[in-house]
Structure 1
Amino acid sequence: MVEHIWEEPDIYRIRLEVPWNPLKNLNIYVLKSAGEFLVIDTGFNRQECREALWAGIRELKLDMSATVLFLTHYHEDHIGLVWDFVERGIPVYMGDKEYTYYSKRTPKEITEDINAIFEYEGFPKEMLSEADRESWFHMPKPGFPVTVMKSGQEFRIGDCRIIVIGTPGHTPGNSVLYLPDHELLFSGDHILFDITPNISIWPQMSHPLADYLESLQKIRELHIRTAFPAHREMGENVYGRIDEIVQHHKGRLDEICQTAAVHPGITAYDIAKSIHWSLRNLTWDDFPYNQKWFAMSESLAHIDYLVDKGQLIREAGGDSVNGYRSKDVQITH
């Protein structure tokens, strides 16, 4: 389904429905200006996404020779169909930090590194060994050509000036796109309005939650009329949404501290089991495996933040599992 969602400049949304996924939909944006086109992200490497995406592109009558693709980050729902564009001769742009991070290791290797951390933090080994990592097969084959863009670098599509802004946190090198002359933001997964972006641990990324909160403040300093997120609906009150997201994370940090205070020595896995998650009111035992995996990773991102701030104390378990206890220190952001 194609919607014309903004005039001056012309911006269209191709909405890809993903009923099998909790995200529910993907928003692929197309910016048109002076006969040139920018496509932002691609959708999953699945046939139903491919058919819907290219039906929308045909409806918009994009000139392939005047089109550029920008990838906000390296998750499978954002880059899955990148080769469809490469094979049509369309240049691909991506933030330099994201491209560099993923050029050194495969998604499978990253997941295996995270799983090794999970095991040391109490996640049941048998669950990890039995995990269905279907997303590996929905990732594009490596080696697609990329023009890397530094944070702050500008490019033009027709009459539109576009700035790439690095916003690490959701991924190590996540980027958003800002149109300063129109005060518009393509926020990708950095700012969502109906759901909260997942903030997880990453191998060789020390402070994902601190990076994410800092990235939010970077966006707060911009003049923004409207933001176009990668999932669900767009929103005009970006600053109010930033406040809500910050409070969400503060609440999660407080909940983890309280849990560790009541259960000194608790593992990260048991913390993840104990805190509140908004997933159709399911209990932890009813969570799909992938949701448990993401909940564990997000819990560890918050735990690491609290350890860095001195709010939690990590009790290393040697060859066994780490435990955590609370320390009565004020959390500051």
Structure 2
Amino acid sequence: MSESGVRSRRRAYIEQRPMDVGGGVWSVPVPIPGNPLGYTLVYAVESPGGPVLIDAGWNHPDAWLALTEGLASVGMDVADVRGVVVTHYHPDHSGLAGQVRESSGAWIAMHEADIALVRLFRDVVKDGNHKDFQADMLRRAGADSHEVAEGVANRPEPPALPDLSLSDGDLIDLPGRRLRTIWTPGHSPGHICLHLEDTDRLFTGDHVLPDITPHIGIYPYDRNDVDPLGDFMTSLLRVTELGPIEALPAHEIRFPDVSARAAEIHTHHEEKLQSLQTLLAETPEPLTIWEVAARMTWNRPWDQLPPMLRGMAAGEAAAHLRTLEVRDVIERTADEPVRFVIHS
């Protein structure tokens, strides 16, 4: 959602091709229809027991065709896939995991914190309350009735329930290789990076991207029992400890120094927090989450953001507000919608 001040170097999907990236790893671009990110890079890691996929792409016929044909072009059959490790539950990463499992009998693995969310989303959809839940969250953030109506439309179905639960430090079932789970919460509660120790490279999912910064939000927006941005910034510092190893992200392009980029993103968010603190200090009246989001800087003006992106912006504003609240810089009112003001 937010930019780090550099134009993205990702190429259009039509220019992408499956690629041997060395060390027994291939990347397969899988399109995300109608999304400005364009595509997800699905990685296939070779092993004597069959390939393991890192992420699976969006659940769409065009994406399935791209995944299966892309694997075939590098000599792999989707029927031979051993497993799918999902870096996080978001639909552009988890969407096709269930279809891969149906075609191959592969297991699906995800961090336990995101599995809990998948279960919750599936229960909400089963009960038929998902639109009411979303609408209530938007209202409490300060969105008007028109924005609420647009914001609850066309939500993707929740992903397949994984078979395997991962925790920090777990090794993936990848015969002959060492692929270790590193828990990096922030972009989602259970986001993971994966350190391929036998070649010293890091699959970063959405945690560290070369040019843009991943969306960090709170859902529902007014939660006061979590601090995803604080978690994210702690996770960034953990990644910097790995040193200048190559990063294989799920979007954009591979890059050589994950440590330096993680430190740069950490600085970006500290600067954003300072800007937000200044905004609230200069505003005499308490602001709703929606009002804060409308006054923050995004990759395009607020009035040009479509409803889905306004909702994401509100989630990201809420995450920054929550971190300032945890730091005891601001406080929330007891109103509904909730409002924030500089700590007295």
Shorter-normalised TM-score: what interval? 0.7 to 0.9
**Are residue 173 (structure 1) and residue 202 (structure 2) matched?**
no
Instruction: List aligned pairs for 1:82-121, cutoff 5 A.
Output: 82-88=97-103, 89-106=105-122, 113=133, 115-121=135-141
Distance 1:31 1:224, change over 3 A: farther
Instruction: List aligned pairs for 1:256-267, cutoff 5 A.
Output: 256-264=276-284, 265-267=286-288
Where relative contact order (Cα < 8 A, 6+ residues apart) is larger, the structure is 2
Corresponding residue number in structure 2 for 1:75: 90
Shift of 1:102: 2.1
Distance 1:115 1:206, change over 3 A: farther
Q: Is the 8 A contact 1:183 1:224 kept in 2?
A: no
Shift of 1:113: 4.2
Distance 1:257 1:114 in 2: 28
> Percent identity among equivalent residues?
28
SS in 1 for 2:233: helix
Q: Provide, for residues 120-160 of structure 1, a one-character-per-residue CA deviation record: whole Å limited to 9, x for no partner.
A: 231223311333532324x44x4x45111221111342421
SS in 2 for 1:190: coil
Shift of 1:18: 3.6
Instruction: List aligned pairs for 1:146-165, cutoff 5 A.
Output: 146-165=163-182
Q: Is the 8 A contact 1:114 1:202 kept in 2?
A: no
**Are residue 312 (structure 1) and residue 330 (structure 2) matched?**
yes
Distance 2:60 2:138 in 1: 29
Instruction: List aligned pairs for 1:5-44, cutoff 5 A.
Output: 5-6=21-22, 9-18=23-32, 20-34=34-48, 36-44=50-58
Unaligned runs of 5+ in 2: 1-16
Corresponding residue number in structure 2 for 1:51: 65
**Are residue 212 (structure 1) and residue 232 (structure 2) matched?**
yes
Deviation >4 Å, runs of 4+: 107-115
Corresponding residue number in structure 2 for 1:248: 268
TM-score, L = length of structure 1: 0.88
Q: Provide, for residues 169-222 of structure 1, a one-character-per-residue CA deviation record: whole Å limited to 9, x for no partner.
A: 111111111122321110001111121100000357611111111111222222
Unaligned runs of 5+ in 1: 329-333
SS in 1 for 2:21: strand
Amino acid in structure 1 at the alignment position of 2:289: A
Distance 1:276 1:111, change over 3 A: farther
Distance 1:291 1:311 in 2: 27
Distance 1:66 1:276, change over 3 A: closer
1:294 equivalent among 312, 326, 344 = 312
Distance 2:50 2:172 in 1: 12
Distance 2:218 2:130 in 1: 10
TM-score, L = length of structure 2: 0.85
Higher strand share: 1
Corresponding residue number in structure 2 for 1:233: 253
Q: Is the 8 A contact 1:122 1:268 kept in 2?
A: yes
2:296 equivalent among 270, 275, 281 = 275
Corresponding residue number in structure 1 for 2:143: 123
Amino acid in structure 1 at the alignment position of 2:288: T
Shift of 1:224: 5.0
SS in 2 for 1:69: strand
Distance 1:102 1:321 in 2: 27
Q: Provide, for residues 3-22 of structure 1, a one-character-per-residue CA deviation record: whole Å limited to 9, x for no partner.
A: 1112xx21111112446212
Corresponding residue number in structure 2 for 1:3: 19
Corresponding residue number in structure 2 for 1:195: 212
SS in 2 for 1:130: helix
Distance 1:145 1:120 in 2: 32
